[in-house]
Homo-oligomer: A and B are copies of this chain.
Amino acid sequence: MELTTQQEKVLSALRKAKKPLSAYAVLDALRTQGVRSPPIVYRALEKLQGAGLVHRVESLGAFVACRHTHGKGPDGIHAFAICSQCGAVEELCAPSLAKSLGRKSGGLLAEINHSMLEISGLCHGCVRGACAKKNTKKGSGACSQ
């Protein structure tokens, strides 16, 4: 896919960050580059998500750049492990899960478009007391585990 200027900027900001960024954190990061208003960020995020280049981590209300190459098919599952203390996030590869979802989806769904799995807990570093506490602001400081 051909990215527009704004989409490039947003993707680049997410790639630089070491943890998920809220849309407004992206906005702040891009103010120096002329990005001024929420809709610009949200529109770019929407396209990037559609292209599979960015995911939204639902339980955080934040966005990450994808480091994988998904099939981009409708049945790809997006899975994240999240440390609830320091905010570290890891995108998991769980293709095998996707297959079982058709059966798991119970009686309701006729077709599946999108699946997400989010597992939260404490990372090894936080259990050892070696991580900084969750950074509330956009600062990119993440956890070294």
Contacts and interface: CB of A to CB of B under 8 A. Distances in A.
A118 B115 contact: yes
Contacts of A106: 81, 90, 92
Contacts of A84: 113-114
Nearest to A123: B108
A107 interface: yes
A92 B117 CA distance: 13
Nearest to A59: B58
Interface residues of A, number: 38
Copies in the complex: 2
A90 B108 CA distance: 7
14 contacts: A79-B104, A84-B113, A88-B108, A92-B104, A104-B119, A108-B145, A109-B120, A110-B124, A110-B127, A111-B121, A112-B120, A113-B120, A114-B119, A116-B117
Interface of A: 58-59, 79, 81, 83-84, 88-90, 92, 94, 97, 100-101, 104-124, 126-127, 145
